[in-house]
Amino acid sequence: GLFINNRWAAPSADTYLTSSNPATGAELAQIAAGGAAEVGAAVSAARAAFATWSTASGHERARHLYALARGIQKHQRLLAVLESLDNGKPIRESRDLDVPLVARHFYHHAGWAQLMAAELPGYTPLGVVGQVIPWNFPLLMLAWKVAPALALGNTVVVKPAPYTPLTALLFAEIAAEAGLPPGVINIVTGGDQTGAAVVEHPGFDKIAFTGSTEVGRIIRRATAGTGKRLSLELGGKSPFLVFDDADQDAAIEGLVDAIWFNQGQVCCAGSRLLIQESIAEPFLEKLRLRMRSLRVGDSLDKGIDIGAIVDPVQRERIDSWVQRGLAEGGQIFQPDTPLPTDGGCWYPPTLLTDVHPAAEVVQEEIFGPVLVALPFRTPGEGVRLANNTRYGLAASVWSENLNLALDVAGQIKAGVIWVNSTNLFDAAAGFGGYRESGYGREGGKEGLYEYVRPAWQTRRQPLADAQPNGTPPAPRESAWGAHTPDRPAPLGDTDTPNGAHSPTNGLPHIDRTAKLYIGGTQKRPDGNYSRTIPGADGQIIGVASDGNRKDIRDAVEAADKASGWARKTGHARAQILYYIAENLSARADEFAARLAAMTGSSGAAEVSAAIDRLFTYAAYADKYGGSIQETVLRGMVLAVNEPVGVIGIVCPDDAPLLSFVSLLAPAMARGNTSIIVPSERYPLAATDFYQILETSDVPAGVVNIVTGARDHLAKTLVEHDVVQAMWYFGDAAGSAEIEARSAHNLKRTWVSYGQPRDWFDAEQGAGAEFLHAATEVKNIWVPTGE
């Protein structure tokens, strides 16, 4: 049945799926398949419960989460057995890892419920959250989503994976038994259609998804323009680097855990072994020997190492990848230990060598017990190979030289790095990816921000003309649909004197068309177009360049080349931000006059607020580096706030200098490089600003300014693969376009849906939201001791 409002309900369409035991093929249960009606009922229940749950005290919610944790512990044996039966994973794993971690998540987040008022002041829960989860860690993925959501006052509708719904249903029963109020947790089981019904239901304030990158992309498109928040935990192809000075026996055991834990059906599986050439052969020989002793068998047998593959469909998929690897020239090793011969679904541990770095088996997620191995020579080459992937979920680094290991950990683009260890998880440390492994974190304080919003913000309203199925509205002809920008009548060559410049003293005026600022130099726009900028009184006060795609591409290239900015010390970045503030201060009157002429408002207050803001981020340049996570590990887990990379920033028209500085400065402070599109209506404060950048020692390419038609430029930016995040402060339709178009490489987006923001206000115009957007949290696990 479906679990809605603490009651069991039958699906209205009377459709059921079969859940079976992968180790035997035997049917375990018939599972209700919910449709749109059931999702609707669950949303209504969750919405009703939200009113009281979100206003309950933190302590009250903490008591409930604590009761859930206790309930899980009380039933841990049953949960572990059921998980292993339903999924096929070894009972040793579900008993010693999955279920204890589930309890740990509820205990840890009971603490966050208790501390929410103290630790997240000014934040409020999002509302009703739809959570769609995969089959590889059915109960653990549920806990990672449900615990933080509930702790912070949200209510949820969970859609378990079709292969493995049973522990979610048992969990529901435990929750009701523990006294959780009706409607706080609702479980709607079913297949992919049920997942789609959750994603498309307009009643959710957020969708949290864990699953494949392919479905993540579908969900990004489906939620674009709906105002729903989104977090995506997707696939991976994580590297496992072994250096020649590694403790090889430990690394071999690590590898067994990395790729044969849970039959390799692990999003962060160490599925790409990168091994230093000098030790490659003896290491691989040791590995083959170890593989011969791995036992494959029934999930309830405590003596096995590898259980059953979740379903014959998955098994076929794994095998077809292996066949493709062989066709690509790979060499295969599979130990000759026998597989069970009963009706179960088995696949032997598999090693593929002699594979090319670009081979599909090296690039694509196989999601099974298949390891590919490649050699590397130098640490630099190892890092390059490690990063040669569209994913960025996790990595393991093995070396007894901590200097080398930590240096490499810093260079790998992934959300979790395990030094001399692998597959360590804890509720106190965030988990989540870079790049196409998705965005958002689960666990750690960083994970809490996925379930709250600043209290001053209202829920973003869906686009009025969005289609009911969530597809974004038909593109507006202007910038998003047509390939030509909707620009004002071109003035011809920018050198041509024009209406803005009446001759003085009988001589023609010297043209002052503001240029673009790309790679540290002023550039004429590629198309040689410009636009006149009217002042507050309607008189033309200047001319700005009209950038095009080529200019954006040049700017992205310059920003990408300036990645050395990320390696500067926080102190050095702070010095440069102070220098910018100093130079702005020296020219404050000139900027104030420019602002007054453009907007008619008092420019002086805005310039002064912009200087204040530069000081704020100069301060944050060396005060937001990260923290130590207090996990259950003996050793250290470092949560490092890394730069996101190249950020595309599209500014609003409000407070054109202050909003420009308020967006630019946090990106710079935290080591990002950016391409910034200033206010379309009032661009001149930003173009004056490049003179300040030029005189403030800002390295070339760190900031690139392209003026012109906002949405036309935004479109090129969001579609550029090198741009890793898009901040768009424009209208709801443009925000919807940005979200939809971000799906192709799953870049992070931060869009405003046209919501006003008081840029002068310290809470709305600066602080945690900005710093969060400017950073990726990387968790580096460093075990210590023997």
Distances (CA, A) of 185 to 157, 228, 330: 6, 19, 48
Q: Does 393 bind ligand NAD (CB under 6 A)?
A: yes
Is residue 383 within 8 Å of residue 331, measured between CB atoms? Answer: no
Of 12, 15, 212, 755, which one interacts with ligand NAD (CB under 6 A)? 212
Helix ranges (DSSP H) in 328-412: 360-363, 379-386, 402-411
Q: Does 365 bind ligand NAD (CB under 6 A)?
A: yes
Task: Give residue 521's identity as a one-letter amino acid code.
Answer: T
Helix (H, G, I), strand (E, B) or coil at 304: coil
Of 38, 83, 86, 233, which one interacts with ligand NAD (CB under 6 A)? 233
Residue showing tokens 């690139």: 704
Q: What gap in Å lies between CA 770 and CA 667, rounded to an integer?
A: 8
The piece of 84-92, 204-212, 373-381, 694-702 that touches ligand NAD (CB under 6 A) is 204-212
DSSP 467-523: -TTSPPPPPPIIIIISSS---PPP-SSTTS--TT---BTTBPPPP--B-EEETTEEE
Q: Does 746 bind ligand NAD (CB under 6 A)?
A: no
Of 39, 132, 241, 296, which one interacts with ligand NAD (CB under 6 A)? 132
Of 83, 200, 267, 442, the active-site residue reads: 267
Q: Which is nearer to ligand NAD, 361 or 665 (CB)?
A: 361
769-784 burial, b if ≥16 CB within 10 A, otherwise e? Answer: bbbbbbbbbbbbbbee
Of 95, 109, 145, 159, which one interacts with ligand NAD (CB under 6 A)? 159
Catalytic site residue 267? Answer: yes
Task: Give residue 539's identity as a one-letter amino acid code.
Answer: Q
Q: What gap in Å lies between CA 603 and CA 280, rounded to an integer?
A: 65
Q: Does 195 bind ligand NAD (CB under 6 A)?
A: yes
Is residue 136 within 8 Å of residue 267, measured between CB atoms? Answer: yes
The structure tokens listed for 703 are 């900031």
Q: Does 234 bind ligand NAD (CB under 6 A)?
A: yes
The piece of 94-102, 233-241, 338-346, 743-751 that touches ligand NAD (CB under 6 A) is 233-241
Residues 247-276 that bind ligand NAD (CB under 6 A): 267
Q: Does 136 bind ligand NAD (CB under 6 A)?
A: yes
Of 100, 115, 192, 333, which one interacts with ligand NAD (CB under 6 A)? 192
Q: Does 485 bind ligand NAD (CB under 6 A)?
A: no
Q: Which is nearer to ligand NAD, 159 or 206 (CB)?
A: 159
Of 130, 134, 307, 470, which one interacts with ligand NAD (CB under 6 A)? 134
Catalytic site residue 651? Answer: no
Residue 227: closest CA among 739, 746, 651: 739
Is residue 227 within 8 Å of residue 201, measured between CB atoms? Answer: no
Q: Does 162 bind ligand NAD (CB under 6 A)?
A: yes
Instruction: Tell me the closest approach of the beta carbon of residue 436 to ligand NAD, in angstroms.
Output: 11
Q: Which is nearer to ligand NAD, 267 or 638 (CB)?
A: 267
Instruction: Tell me the closest approach of the beta carbon of residue 268 to ligand NAD, in angstroms.
Output: 7
Helix (H, G, I), strand (E, B) or coil at 325: helix
Q: Which is nearer to ligand NAD, 267 or 618 (CB)?
A: 267
Is residue 7 within 8 Å of residue 17, measured between CB atoms? Answer: no
Is residue 285 packed enough to be buried (19+ CB in 10 Å), middle (13-18) or exposed (0-12)? Answer: exposed
Of 161, 169, 322, 543, which one interacts with ligand NAD (CB under 6 A)? 161
The piece of 129-137, 294-302, 541-549, 773-781 that touches ligand NAD (CB under 6 A) is 129-137
Q: Does 439 bind ligand NAD (CB under 6 A)?
A: no
Q: How many CB atoms lie within 10 A of CB 14?
A: 8
Q: Which is nearer to ligand NAD, 159 or 435 (CB)?
A: 159
The contact set with ligand NAD (CB under 6 A) reads 132-136, 141, 159, 161-162, 191-192, 195-196, 199, 210-212, 215, 218-219, 233-236, 267, 365, 367, 393, 433
Active site residues: 233, 267
